[in-house]
Amino acid sequence: MDDGCNSEGCGGLTQLLKHEYALNLARGEQKVNGQKCREGDRNHCSVLKNTSELFLYKVSPSTIGVHYGSYGQIGNMAEIGTYRETSHVFNWRTGQYAKMKTEGYYGYMGAPEGLAGGFYVGTTKVRGSSDIYQLQGMSLDAQGQLGLDFGLEAGASKQTSLALSSEENKFIKDPVSKMYINTQQTSISISANIAPTGLSGAGTFGLSDTTIVDSYQIPWWP
């Protein structure tokens, strides 16, 4: 990368000044890019050709799908649990399909379950992801759930997850949309537990790891 020295000369300058030069060059390039794009040179325009496309990324999920899985947990009001999940998702912007497996662990605070296990099914939508392969990796999850619990429990839940980078544990932004990759799931579940409470409610917080086990690119997708 040109740190400013190639074009300006940096003999004897401090690192700080070199950095300033580099920033000034980058800002200058940005202005030139914007100007050339407006003049009709598409090489200087971004992939998000206009603000409506960026708006689409912000307001609509780029990836949609379904999921199903099973879980088990143990404890008394403050509990720990784990789940395994399979999802089938489709990125309508790129025409990519993927089958994914997710393994997650969570902490639970809410109505006591004692010992519980169950199954769930639901819908998945992902915002901000420009490519299906951005979905593989670690995520941080938070979930809220409500249920009718008479030993056998029927419930519904909402989960939101943010993708973490592979190298360092921080939230990752998609290279194209420049948005955090946010997966939202709505599920219904059927389960059994040894501490029925009639009406139950809880929140969970945890980590999960997703792997793409199969994928397909529709070749003619625009």
Partner 1 sequence: MINKRNVKILISIIIFILVIVLFSKEPPRPYSNPADIVRLSELTLCKGLEDSTNRPIELEILTVENTTPLFVCGYLKSHKSQPLTIYWKFRGDKQVPFYKNRDQPFSPGYFASKLDIGRPLSPGIYEVEVHLYRSKIGHLEFDIHP
Q: Which of 191, 200, 204, 208 binds partner 1 (CB under 8 A)?
A: 191
Tell how far CA 196 is from the center of its chain.
Answer: 34
* Least distance in angstroms from the C-beta of 1 to partner 1: 7
DSSP characters over 154-205? EEEEEEEEEEB-SSSSSB-B-TTT-SB-EEEEEEEEEEEESS--EEEEEEEE
Does the footprint of partner 1 cover residue 151 (CB under 8 A)?
Answer: yes
Does the footprint of partner 1 cover residue 35 (CB under 8 A)?
Answer: no
Does the footprint of partner 1 cover residue 71 (CB under 8 A)?
Answer: yes
* Least distance in angstroms from the C-beta of 80 to partner 1: 13
Q: Which of 152, 169, 186, 205 binds partner 1 (CB under 8 A)?
A: 152
Does the footprint of partner 1 cover residue 9 (CB under 8 A)?
Answer: no
Contact 198, 84 (CB under 8 A): no
Q: List phi, psi (to 5°) of 218.
A: -70, 115
Residues 86-125 that bind partner 1 (CB under 8 A): 94, 96, 101, 103, 114-118
Listed ranges 13-21, 120-128, 140-148, 191-199: which one lies at the site for partner 1 (CB under 8 A)? 191-199
Listed ranges 13-21, 58-66, 158-166, 199-207: which one lies at the site for partner 1 (CB under 8 A)? 158-166
Which CB, 142 or 212, lies closer to partner 1? 212
CA gap 88, 30 in Å, rounded: 39
Closest CA to 114 of 221, 31, 47, 192: 192
Q: Which of 62, 63, 87, 134 binds partner 1 (CB under 8 A)?
A: 134
* Least distance in angstroms from the C-beta of 119 to partner 1: 9
Which CB, 117 or 203, lies closer to partner 1? 117
Q: Which of 10, 13, 99, 133 binds partner 1 (CB under 8 A)?
A: 133
Contact 67, 188 (CB under 8 A): no
Does the footprint of partner 1 cover residue 170 (CB under 8 A)?
Answer: no
CA distances from 105 to 71, 74, 182, 206, 219 (A): 10, 12, 18, 6, 37
Contact 139, 208 (CB under 8 A): yes
Count CA atoms closer than 13 A to 160's CA, side-chain side.
Answer: 5
Which CB, 98 or 159, lies closer to partner 1? 98
